[in-house]
C-alpha cells in the first residue's frame, strides 16, 4: 500500500481529493487517526480553564474535526458510487465507530455544560444574528441527542445510536446487493419487442459488460426499469422485471431487510421515548417546518384525496384501452407505464422515443448551467486533468459574474454496478468562512443508462427533470455564503431542503430554455414549437398515478414511525395495513416499498420525513409563481432575493422566516394542486 494521502497536504488544483492515490486500505488507518485527533480537540475545549464563551466553545467546536470531515466525505461518496466488497467491509467497520464517537461528544456532560452556559448568556453577549442562530442550533442539537438525560439513559441512547448506524449500513448494502446482482437477460428478437433502438443498444452493451455476449440485459436501475416497462410489449417480461424491482430487499435470503426494518423501528421508538417523545415521528417532526404529525397528515390527506380521484379516472381510461386492443386482463402495476405511454401518444401525439431524441444528456447539462447563469450570474468551465474516482466523472469550475471562483461541481451521471440506485447531491467539501474562505466541492450522482461507445445518452423528461432537481440541490451547496459550517449549504430543515431542488425543476420546461437546448441528438435541429406545445399540454398527464405512488410512500413512512410496536413486529404486514386503510389502488404500488426504502432506512435523514418532498412542493409551486406573476422567469430582483434568502443563506434563519423574506408571505397548497392538475 502506498503512503496514505489523508496524512498529506493536498496540492492538487482546488485542493481536490487525490483520487488517483486513494486506496481502500487507507480509509481505516485515516479514520483511526482522525477520530483520535478529533477526540483530542474536543478534550481541549472541555478542559479549557477559561469561562465558556462563543469563541472557545462554539467556534472551537466548529473548527474541530477537519481531518475527520476530509476522510469521511471522500469515503461516504465512494461508498455510494464505487462500492465493492472491500469498501463495504470498511463501511461496516467504521459506521458503529463513528456513531459511538459522536454520541460520546453529544453526551459529554462537561461539554454540554459549556454549550449550555454560552446559550444561557446569549442575550447579554451581543452576538451577531448568525452567531446567535448557531448557538441556539448547537444547543438544540445537544438536547436532541440526549445531553440532558441521566447517566444510565445516556449509555442506553449511545448503544441505540451505534446499533442504528450498523443497521442503516446493512439495509443499504442489502439493497445494493439485490440491485447489482440481477439483470433480466433478453435472449431473442421477440424479447426485444417494442424497445427503441437506443435502448436495445444500451441493453446489448450492458449484457456484454455482465458476461452475456450477444444478448441484451436490463438492470434494476430505475431509469432502465421504467424505460423497459414503458416500451416493452412483452407483458410477461414486464411482469418478471417489475417483480424483481418491487421485491428488492425482500428476497428471503441474506439480503432480506425485514429483520433490519423491524429492529430499526423498535430502536427508533425506544430512542424517542428516552428523549421524552411519545413516538419517533413526534421526535423528528419537532424540528421541522411542519412541527407535528397533524400538519403533515392534513397536507397528505388533501393531496391524496385529489390524487386518488384523478388516478381512478386514469385507471378507467387505461383499462378501456386494454379492452379496445382485445386484452383479456385487468390493468396491473407492471402494465401502467406501458399503457399510459400509449394513451399519452394518442392524446397528445407525443412519442417517447421521438421526444428523447431532443434531450441529449450533454445539452441538458448545458441547460442547467445556463439557467444558473441567468438567475445567479454563474458560469461553468469544464476542468481536464484533475484526478477522478471514475473515468465517467466530469468536473466543472463555477465562477460568479466577476469571474471569481465559487465552487467545483462534479457530475457522475451513468449507472454502473458499483453505484447505488437513485440520484443525489453530496459534497466532498462544504463551504465556510471560519478560519479561511473555503469554497465547496459538490457532486451530483445520477443513474442514466450508458449508451454504446460513441453514441449520445438520451434522457426521458423525467430523467431531465431529475438532472435539474439534483442541480438545484448542488446550487444550494455551491452558492452557500455563511460563516459557520454547521449552518452552511443544505444543513437546513428536512422539509425545507427540497425547495431549492424542486423549484429548479420549473425552468426545464420553459419554452425559452427548451428552444435553446432541446436539440435533436443527430441533426442538431431545435425542438419544434408544436412539440413544445404538446409537452406543455401534457404536463399534468398521469398526475393521479404520480401523486398516489408518492403519497402512499409518505403515509407508510409516517405511520410506521407514529406507532409503538405493531410496525416493528411485522413491517411488511404493517405496510399492507396502511395501504388498505388509505385505499391504495390495486393498479399502483408505492414509489418506494419499505424493504428498499433507502430514504428512511439507510439513515435517519428522511425517516418520518418523506412527506417533505410534498411540503417543499407547496413552497416551490408558490415560489415559481413569484416569477410568473412578474412575467419574467429570470427576473433579476426576484432571483436576487431567491439567492440571498434561499440558495445562499444556509440555515441562517428559521425556514418560515427565510421563505417570507423571499416571498413576503407563507404559501397555501393551492399552487401545488394547480401545478399537478388536481385543483
DSSP classification of residue 526: B
Residue ranges making up the domain that contains 414: 361-525
- CA 319, CA 237: separation in Å to the nearest integer? 20
Q: Does the pLDDT at position 227 exceed 90?
A: yes
C-alpha cell at 54: 462563543
Q: Does the pLDDT at position 568 exceed 80?
A: no
What's the rounded mean pLDDT across residues 180-200?
95
| Residue position matching grid coordinates 405496510 | 575
Q: Does the pLDDT at position 18 exceed 90?
A: yes
Q: How many CB atoms lie within 10 A of CB 209?
A: 15
Q: Does the pLDDT at position 171 exceed 70?
A: yes
Whole-Å CA distances, 397 to 384, 500, 501, 650: 10, 20, 20, 21
User: What is the distance, to the nearest Å, from the Cα of residue 14 to the centroid of all Cα atoms in its chain?
Assistant: 26
Q: Would you say residue 623 lies in a domain?
A: yes
Which distant-in-sequence residues (6+ apart) come within 8 Å of 569 by Cβ? 262
Each residue's pLDDT tens digit, 597-650: 999 999 998 999 999 999 999 999 999 999 999 999 999 999 999 999 999 999
- CA 263, CA 62: separation in Å to the nearest integer? 33
Which distant-in-sequence residues (6+ apart) come within 8 Å of 512 by Cβ? 633
**Positions marked catalytic:** 470
Same structural domain, 476 and 435: yes
Q: Does the pLDDT at position 565 exceed 70?
A: no
Same structural domain, 120 and 188: no
Q: Would you say residue 31 lies in a domain?
A: yes
| Burial bucket for residue 595 (CB in 10 Å: 0-12, 13-18, 19+) | buried
Q: Does the pLDDT at position 149 exceed 80?
A: yes
Choose one of 473, 494, 525: the last residue of a domain: 525
Same structural domain, 371 and 498: yes
Same structural domain, 218 and 324: no
| Residue position matching grid coordinates 415560489 | 623
| Burial bucket for residue 87 (CB in 10 Å: 0-12, 13-18, 19+) | middle
Q: Does the pLDDT at position 563 exceed 90?
A: no
Q: How confident is the model at residue 2 (pLDDT cuts 50, 70, 90)?
A: confident
Judge whether 221 and 460 are in contact, CB under 8 Å: no
Choose one of 525, 550, 577: the last residue of a domain: 525
Q: How confident is the model at residue 353 (pLDDT cuts 50, 70, 90)?
A: confident
Each residue's pLDDT tens digit, 394-429: 999 999 999 999 999 999 999 998 998 899 999 999
Task: Read off the CATH number of the domain in which 602 is found.
Answer: 1.10.1370.10
- CA 6, CA 26: separation in Å to the nearest integer? 8
Q: Does the pLDDT at position 566 exceed 70?
A: no
Judge whether 171 and 260 are in contact, CB under 8 Å: yes
Each residue's pLDDT tens digit, 498-509: 999 999 999 999
Same structural domain, 132 and 213: no
Same structural domain, 470 and 521: yes
Same structural domain, 586 and 442: no
Out of 161-165, 186-190, 416-420, 584-588, least confident range: 416-420
Neighbouring C-alpha atoms within 13 Å toward the C-beta of 613: 17
- CA 256, CA 141: separation in Å to the nearest integer? 33
Same structural domain, 466 and 387: yes
Each residue's pLDDT tens digit, 425-483: 999 999 999 999 999 999 999 999 999 888 999 999 999 999 999 999 999 999 999 99
What's the rounded mean pLDDT across residues 169-181?
94
Judge whether 250 and 258 are in contact, CB under 8 Å: yes
Each residue's pLDDT tens digit, 316-352: 999 999 999 999 999 999 999 999 999 999 999 988 8
Judge whether 609 and 288 are in contact, CB under 8 Å: yes
Residue 477 is inside which H or E element, if any? Answer: helix 461-478
Q: Would you say residue 327 lies in a domain?
A: yes
C-alpha cell at 349: 401525439
- CA 558, CA 296: separation in Å to the nearest integer? 9
Residue 352 pLDDT: 85
Q: How confident is the model at residue 38 (pLDDT cuts 50, 70, 90)?
A: very high
Choose one of 230, 246, 262: the last residue of a domain: 246
Same structural domain, 575 and 451: no
Q: Would you say residue 269 lies in a domain?
A: no
The number of folded domains in the chain is 4
Residue 146 pLDDT: 97
Same structural domain, 316 and 365: no
Q: What is the gyration radius of the CA atoms in the chain, in angstroms?
A: 25
Q: Would you say residue 328 lies in a domain?
A: yes
Same structural domain, 487 and 608: no
Task: Read off the CATH number of the domain in which 11 is found.
Answer: 1.20.1050.40
Residue 270 pLDDT: 95
Whole-Å CA distances, 360 to 193, 392, 397, 457: 24, 16, 22, 6
Residue 158 pLDDT: 97
User: What's the whole-number average pLDDT of the chain?
Assistant: 96
Each residue's pLDDT tens digit, 249-282: 998 999 999 999 999 999 999 999 999 999 999 9
Q: Would you say residue 644 lies in a domain?
A: yes
Same structural domain, 291 and 406: no
Task: Read off the CATH number of the domain in which 464 is found.
Answer: 1.10.1370.40
Q: Does the pLDDT at position 305 exceed 90?
A: yes
Q: Would you say residue 354 lies in a domain?
A: no
Q: Would you say residue 340 lies in a domain?
A: no
Residue 457 pLDDT: 95
Amino acid at each position: 500500500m502506498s503512503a496514505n494521502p489523508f496524512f498529506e497536504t493536498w496540492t492538487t488544483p482546488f485542493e481536490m481529493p487525490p483520487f488517483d492515490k486513494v486506496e481502500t486500505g487507507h480509509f481505516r488507518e485515516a479514520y483511526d487517526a482522525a477520530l483520535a485527533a478529533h477526540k483530542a480537540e474536543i478534550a481541549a475545549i472541555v478542559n479549557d480553564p477559561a469561562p465558556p464563551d462563543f469563541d472557545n466553545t462554539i467556534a472551537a467546536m466548529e473548527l474541530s474535526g477537519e481531518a475527520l470531515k476530509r476522510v469521511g466525505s471522500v469515503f461516504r461518496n465512494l461508498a455510494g458510487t464505487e462500492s465493492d466488497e472491500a469498501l463495504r467491509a470498511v463501511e461496516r467497520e467504521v459506521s458503529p465507530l463513528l456513531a459511538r464517537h459522536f454520541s460520546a461528544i453529544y453526551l459529554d456532560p462537561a461539554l454540554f455544560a459549556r454549550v449550555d452556559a454560552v446559550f444561557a448568556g446569549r442575550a447579554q453577549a451581543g452576538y451577531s444574528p448568525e452567531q446567535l442562530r448557531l448557538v441556539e442550533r448547537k444547543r438544540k442539537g445537544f438536547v436532541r441527542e440526549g445531553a440532558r438525560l441521566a447517566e444510565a439513559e445516556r449509555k442506553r441512547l449511545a448503544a441505540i445510536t451505534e446499533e442504528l448506524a450498523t443497521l442503516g449500513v446493512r439495509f443499504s448494502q442489502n439493497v445494493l446487493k439485490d440491485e447489482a446482482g440481477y439483470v433480466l437477460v433478453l435472449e431473442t428478437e421477440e424479447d426485444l419487442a417494442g424497445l427503441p433502438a437506443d435502448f436495445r443498444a444500451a441493453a446489448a452493451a450492458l449484457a456484454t459488460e455482465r458476461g452475456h455476449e450477444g444478448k441484451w440485459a436490463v438492470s434494476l436501475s430505475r431509469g432502465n426499469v421504467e424505460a423497459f416497462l414503458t416500451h416493452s410489449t412483452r407483458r410477461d417480461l414486464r411482469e418478471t422485471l417489475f417483480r424483481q424491482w418491487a421485491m428488492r430487499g425482500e428476497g428471503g435470503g441474506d439480503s432480506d431487510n425485514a429483520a433490519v426494518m423491524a429492529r430499526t423501528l423498535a430502536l427508533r421508538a425506544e430512542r424517542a421515548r428516552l428523549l421524552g417523545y411519545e413516538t419517533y415521528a413526534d421526535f423528528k417532526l419537532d424540528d421541522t417546518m411542519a412541527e407535528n404529525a397533524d400538519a403533515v397528515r392534513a397536507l397528505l390527506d388533501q393531496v391524496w384525496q385529489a390524487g386518488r380521484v384523478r388516478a381512478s379516472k386514469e385507471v378507467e381510461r387505461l383499462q378501456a384501452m386494454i379492452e379496445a386492443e382485445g386484452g383479456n386482463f385487468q390493468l396491473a402495476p407492471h402494465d401502467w407505464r406501458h399503457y399510459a405511454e400509449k394513451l399519452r401518444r394518442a392524446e397528445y401525439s407525443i412519442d417517447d422515443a421521438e421526444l428523447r431524441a431532443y434531450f441529449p444528456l450533454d445539452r441538458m447539462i448545458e441547460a442547467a448551467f445556463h439557467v444558473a447563469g441567468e438567475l445567479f450570474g454563474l458560469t461553468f468551465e469544464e476542468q481536464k486533468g484533475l484526478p477522478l474516482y471514475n473515468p465517467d466523472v466530469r468536473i466543472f469550475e463555477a465562477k460568479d459574474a466577476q469571474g471569481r471562483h465559487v465552487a467545483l461541481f462534479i457530475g457522475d451521471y451513468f449507472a454502473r454496478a458499483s453505484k447505488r440506485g437513485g440520484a443525489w447531491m453530496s459534497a466532498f467539501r462544504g463551504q465556510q468562512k471560519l478560519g479561511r474562505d473555503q469554497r465547496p466541492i459538490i457532486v451530483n450522482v445520477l443513474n442514466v443508462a450508458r449508451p454504446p461507445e460513441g453514441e449520445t445518452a438520451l434522457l426521458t423528461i423525467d430523467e431531465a427533470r431529475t438532472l435539474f432537481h439534483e442541480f438545484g440541490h448542488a446550487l444550494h451547496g455551491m452558492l452557500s455564503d455563511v460563516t459557520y459550517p454547521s449552518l452552511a449549504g443544505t444543513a437546513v430543515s428536512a422539509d425545507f431542503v427540497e425547495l431549492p431542488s424542486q423549484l429548479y425543476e420549473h425552468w426545464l420546461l420553459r419554452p425559452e430554455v427548451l428552444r435553446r437546448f432541446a436539440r435533436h441528438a443527430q441533426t442538431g435541429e431545435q425542438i419544434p414549437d408544436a412539440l413544445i406545445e404538446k409537452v406543455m399540454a401534457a404536463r399534468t398527464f398521469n398526475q393521479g398515478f404520480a401523486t398516489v405512488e408518492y403519497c402512499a410512500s409518505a403515509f407508510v413512512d409516517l405511520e410506521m414511525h407514529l406507532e409503538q410496536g405493531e410496525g416493528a413486529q411485522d413491517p411488511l404486514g404493517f405496510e399492507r395495513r396502511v395501504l388498505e386503510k388509505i385505499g391504495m389502488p390495486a393498479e399502483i404500488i408505492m414509489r418506494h416499498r419499505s424493504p428498499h426504502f433507502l430514504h428512511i432506512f439507510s439513515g435517519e435523514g428522511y425517516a418520518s420525513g418523506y412527506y417533505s418532498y410534498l411540503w417543499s412542493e407547496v413552497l416551490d409551486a408558490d415560489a415559481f409563481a413569484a416569477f410568473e406573476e412578474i412575467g419574467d422567469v429570470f427576473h433579476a430582483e426576484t432571483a436576487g432575493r431567491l439567492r440571498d434568502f434561499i440558495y445562499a443563506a444556509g440555515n441562517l434563519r428559521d425556514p418560515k422566516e427565510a421563505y417570507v423574506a423571499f416571498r413576503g408571505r407563507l404559501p397555501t397548497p393551492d399552487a401545488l394542486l394547480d401545478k399537478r392538475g388536481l385543483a
